[in-house]
Structure 1
């Protein structure tokens, strides 16, 4: 039985959408009162909206294609720019209203409904700046790799591992890449760190294993003296597309595991390895994806079997919600956990002492280092991108962590 669609929410969203555009048009008319502005504006907005609906319908039949990417990104850019324009326009209108209600003297010819061209000009500048930022994020930002370094101190780090370094990347999402040369620059930056260990914390692909195939030659270049270790992320299981049969879905996952081998990655599936230096060791464990709302597959207890409570442990676990749920208070101390998953939502600001992204309303800790109960978590911002084909303010990350003994 098909679930009936509620008309009221659709009607409310439609009315709000057209109210937003009518308000934006009123502001643009302050700048240019041409008789042609209104019909051109509405033809563009309505045409773009219908193009988006058509693209979504085609995507459901054929999967994601170039037409859908172009139309959806064009709609997103225009919509966000309109919201920015409307916010600044509303601030100006509210200021004029307050001034009209609180001031007894008004200059000759003044009317509170008359907008200041200077304020509308500023709102329009912010509108254009928003478009420029999105254009940069789509064309350049998604490949603007950053190396972020952390030095972490531990009382119980084996002395032979003092100064040990590891490089972490996460969330490659190979199916989103369109520029192999740009990806190669990221690979070169990874190898340039010359770390002792390389780890990858999940989401090699968006949905299908074959997405990584064109980039095997790139990622197989990554080498480290203590090896290249990896885990799976929520997208690697193929849960987000419809498969002809359950068997093909299972085969796809097996193919992805085989590709990890081709890349030279040791895939950890609820298991651990020992990293030995002289007569001392540290434990590196990895679990299958465990994330609240994204599949709780991983078995931490199994991954830590035959390890001692006081062993120094590093855990690879794709989703940072796992750290809060099972790791930070685990009786068997895990000194360092490495995660990804959030991408920092590929949008936000990290500058001038400000660290903000909309993803903070979903995850308490969404990027960088967090420490609690004497244990560390690092959340990598992701190497690739998904959904929005770009990054603004939250750049793709290569993390380098140095372990130091206190």
Structure 2
């Protein structure tokens, strides 16, 4: 994004902060001249912290030094979502008061009382929900699934596949978080680990070390990855190289045979739909030479990519991207882009397992969309 283009969302967000400042400091008429000034300073500082979460400034300092600032700024973004929703409800109530008392003082006195009670309450609730979301985001759990197919060789009956998506290590998530992910995955003793995109945010030179613990993932059939849309935002080639340096096999529109006791299944992987050039998705290449009568796992970051392989004999697509909405009520916007939100569902004739993701993008906050590590047990049947 160019500097000029970045000014648009920054300007919109700054305008929203002016609205928040007015709702909290001016509209209630607190009678204290220092209140608007103090709140203005706090909001300006939080705006600076928000920008650091997107690497707008602070590059001269190490990620560890800037992480508390980035974390605070991104968490404030989540708070702003709930401030917006709270003030929306408050605005409706004020309108009702105005209509009910129009013949008297046009509801001015009632609206002032509502401002003095409602504005602090909205702020407290927004901060409280954000705090709960921080707790929820830091406690990923294992979600067990079972998929049966008559095409699965008997030697693979009971094989366990761990699906890791959307770690989003970077300015907010550190190597410590990645280490926790690795420990959780290894504790499940998977036969195969598939990482379906969005491992990171930012540049590989700066944030590559945050993914270093992935080197310790253990699975007899291997650890494989595909790219996500965040790998396509910037520094794509360097990130792919960084993943491979960690011993992760990146499937770049290709497939591999996974062998066990003389039998084999196929794992295919395709680049994210947002990629271009050498990183453009090519489902045909990904499934080249694959026998539709055999058992095929297909790793693609976005669930909608299942539409590209309809009728190709894919037995299970492994995806992420949606985050399950990450923060309520954003869950209800996901169907505008994706055919499924989370869980195991059919997209056409392709069964798709969509993970809510184990990390979080932007704010390390999740509300009513807990992080998960899906583990699939394959069954012959």
TM over 0.5: yes
**CA, structure 1 residues 127+400, in 2 after alignment: closer, same or farther (shift >3 Å)?**
same
Q: Please give the TM-score of this superposition, normalised by the length of structure 2.
A: 0.78
For 1:202, the equivalent position in structure 2 comes to 197
> Which of 247, 268, 271 lines up with 1:285 in the alignment?
268
TM-superposed CA distance for 1:69, in Å, is 2.2
Match of residue 257, structure 2, among 274, 281, 287: 274
Residues 332, 58 of structure 1: alpha-carbon distance in 2 compared, 3 angstrom cutoff? closer
- With the length of structure 1 as denominator, give the TM-score of the two structures: 0.74
Which string of whole-angstrom CA distances, capped at 9 and with x for unpartnered residues, describes residues 305-353 of structure 1?
22222112110112323223x02x2x3211110112333453226xxxx
How many angstroms does 1:153 deviate by? Answer: 3.2
SS of 1:200's equivalent in the other structure is strand
Of 312, 318, 334 in structure 1, the residue corresponding to residue 301 of structure 2 is 318
| Aligned CA distance change for structure 1 residues 51 and 156 (closer, same or farther; 3 Å) | closer
For structure 2, which runs of at least 5 residues remain unmatched after alignment?
A: none
Q: CA deviation at 1:171?
A: 2.4
Report the CA distance shift for 1:395/1:22 in structure 2 as closer, same or farther (over 3 A).
same
How has the CA–CA distance of structure 1 residues 197 and 46 changed in structure 2, closer, same or farther, with 3 Å as cutoff?
closer
Q: Please state whether the residue corresponding to 1:114 is helix, strand or coil.
A: helix
**1:145 shift after superposition:** 1.1
Determine which structure has more spread, i.e. the larger CA radius of gyration.
1
1:88 aligns with 2:89: yes
Residue 251 of structure 2 contacts residue 268 of structure 2 at CA under 8 Å; is this kept in 1? yes
Stretch moving more, 219-228 or 111-120: 111-120
Mapped to 2, the partners of 1:50 and 1:219 lie a distance apart of 33
2:36 to 34, 39, 46: 39
What does 1:379-394 align with in structure 2 at a 5 Å threshold?
Answer: 379-394=354-369
For each residue in 1:179-214, what CA deviation from the matched residue of structure 2 results, as whole angstroms up to 9, or x when unmatched?
544443332221121222211112333243343335
Partners of 1:173 and 1:207 lie apart in 2 by 9
Q: Tell me, what secondary structure is at the counterpart of 1:132? A: helix
Where 2:88 maps in the other structure, the secondary structure is helix
| Alpha-carbon distance, 1:149 to partner | 1.5
Pair 1:146–1:88, CA change in 2 (3 A): same
Partner of 1:352: none
Distance 1:11 1:223 in 2: 46
Q: Map Cα deviations across residues 194-239 of structure 1 (whole Å, 9 max, x no partner).
A: 22221111233324334333542x22222122222222233335x4
The alpha-carbon distance between structure 1 residues 118 and 141, as it changes in their structure 2 partners (threshold 3 A), is: same
Distance of aligned partners of 1:291 and 1:404 in 2 relative to their CA distance in 1, 3 Å threshold:
farther
Please list, as runs of the form range in 1=range in 2, the aligned pairs for 1:70-89 lying within 5 A after superposition.
Answer: 72-73=73-74, 76=77, 79-89=80-90
Q: Is the 8 A contact 1:344 1:381 kept in 2?
A: yes
Q: Residue 400 in 1 paired to residue 378 in 2?
A: no
Q: SS at the partner of 1:174?
A: coil
Paired residues, number: 373
Cα pair 2:252 2:271 within 8 Å, conserved = yes
Does the aligned pair in 1 maintain the 2:50–2:72 contact within 8 Å?
no
What is the RMSD of the two structures over their aligned residues, measured on CA atoms? Answer: 4.1
